A = this chain, B = another copy of it.
Amino acid sequence: MIPDWLCYNRSETFRGEQAQHKSMARRHNTDGRPTIAQIARIAGVSVPTVSKVLNGRADVSLPTREKVERIIQEYGFVRNRAARALRKGKTGLIDLLLPRLDDEYYLPILEGVAQVLREAGLRLVLTATDYKPEEEVRWITTVTDHSTDGILVVLPSEQAIEQLERSGLPFVLIHNQGGLQATAPSVRITSWEGGFVATTYLIRLGHRRIAYIGKTAPARDAIERIAGYRAALDAAGLPLLPELECDGDFTEASGYQATLRLLELPEPPTAIFAGNDRQAAGVYRALHERGLAIPEQMSVVGFDNLPYTEIMNPPLTTVHAPRLELGRTAASMLLRLINGEQLEMPRVVLPTHLVERQSCCPPRAG
């Protein structure tokens, strides 16, 4: 009688174990990791049975299940993801495209995405595009194969969005620059409101001459921030003074330069709303160099709430951009899309809020 551990795939067994040399038989599986077939043979069951045990199917008797589980434990078996992905059409991988990795701004976004994916048992494939749209398109091409189940893109270019829509893969955009009519799922922050609130805060403190830095930054968020600034001045009945709207590309250096120019004005401002925290750091440096006290001689407000704003001297009052939530929300939305669910709110906007610290006070009388 033939023992049942010989019954499965006998021809394969013979060729695999007897007719061929050992070295040939395991050409691929060189690291000696067992496959389902080997586990099955050892346990004296069929391959599907092992698969059923692995996937917690019901149609396996308790003794069989326990035997298989013991052997899986003993041999430290883990299943081959590629084979599983091929068969199931899912890879368990999510792509995240970031403009760059050496910018701490994106770090909480990354962290938020990672948190949600970890909870869902998915893994995160990270790609930096270096702000180059061609790079982005190139990556989306390689990403659009079956290698991931979904894509998150931070600051996507128009072409990237087009390509994503064509690909048919689930995706969610973070900080979408695109036009307001766009329908692609996306998560943004209320930059306009942040600019409005920051400026209004300075106005309430009594400031009348408030400068803004960052007019030349092209990102949509930057445009909204200055729009919020202007709207706040307007709402308070204050004039919009062109000489108080400074160029700035959201770098520390441009904040420094702009501040020096502001200080040379016949009538300098009493407060500066830096478009982001990096520019605020430049503002600080210029003010320190000129020996001006913050906030007594100049109030400063930033935007983003980067970690180091807390340890600036004095700690910077700034608009908090909820970047962790940005990442978490986008990832959650993507998960729902992958699940085939409809998003009741495909375009989410997360609120910003002012974090009051010690870089602002009322202007000096006179």
Binding site for B on A (CB under 8 A): 28-33, 76, 78-83, 85-86, 89, 91, 93, 100-102, 104, 107-108, 110-111, 114, 118, 123-128, 141-142, 144-147, 166-169, 252, 281-282, 284-285, 288, 307-308, 311-313
The contact of A81 among B32, B146, B167, by CB within 8 Å, is B146
Q: Are A91 and B82 in contact (CB under 8 A)?
A: yes
A interface secondary structure, majority: mixed
Q: Are A31 and B169 in contact (CB under 8 A)?
A: yes
Q: How many copies of this chain does the complex contain?
A: 2
**Bound-complex Cα distance A132 to B221 (A):** 37
Q: Are A124 and B123 in contact (CB under 8 A)?
A: no
**Bound-complex Cα distance A78 to B167 (A):** 11
* Chain B residues near A308 (CB-CB < 8 A): 281, 308, 311
Q: A93-B93, A102-B107, A281-B308 are in contact. List 12 more A-B contacts (CB 8 A).
A: A30-B89, A31-B169, A78-B142, A78-B145, A80-B145, A82-B82, A82-B83, A83-B146, A101-B107, A107-B107, A114-B127, A308-B311
**Bound-complex Cα distance A93 to B307 (A):** 32
Q: Are A128 and B101 in contact (CB under 8 A)?
A: no
Q: Are B86 and A83 in contact (CB under 8 A)?
A: yes
Most buried by B among A32, A107, A167: A107
* Chain B residues near A85 (CB-CB < 8 A): 82, 85
**Bound-complex Cα distance A288 to B284 (A):** 15
